[in-house]
Amino acid sequence: MNMHRGSCLCGNVRYELRGELGEFGYCHCKSCRKASGSSHAANAPIDRTDFLLVSGGDSLREFESSPGKLRAFCSRCGSPIYAYLAASPEVLRIRLGSLDTEFTKQPRAHTFVADKAAWEPIKDDIPQFPEWAPKTVLIQRGSRQA
């Protein structure tokens, strides 16, 4: 098992992950695009018990972006750190862009491509799905995947 470390852009919020990050894909839904400020989001699940906030807890804020979906970010620089569902708060979905350590897992799918930005070409061989990827392709723990 690799321990990962991560932080926000200004370095105030720092965390350690003491467990293995789960499978991930690229989500192209409008909410993830807005939350990431990019063409898609890359989020991997981890048990909350394996997430250790090292510093910056006073700067961490949560925003309920849709009913029951909370997104945590640094209030100083705006960097997204994780999200979770109120119905399953024991699983965090870490924003992979906040990692400071090397992460070598590869994405399993592009999801919600029916909602992707018109200016974003997808030119890789990763499977694409109009909405959720089937669980045979990608299991998205901590999400609303059906």
How far is residue 81's CA from residue 73's CA, in Å, rounded to a whole number?
A: 5
Residue 71 has pLDDT above 60, yes or no: yes
Of 133, 116, 121, 144, nearest to 24 (Cα)?
A: 133
Mean pLDDT of 8-28: 96
Mean pLDDT of 12-17: 98
Q: Domains of the chain (ranges plus CATH)? A: 4-115 (2.170.150.70)
Residue 108 pLDDT: 97
Mean pLDDT of 33-39: 92
Q: What is the mean pLDDT of the chain?
A: 95
pLDDT tens, position by position, 84-101:
999 999 999 999 999 999
Confidence of residue 145 (pLDDT cuts 50, 70, 90): confident
pTM: 0.93
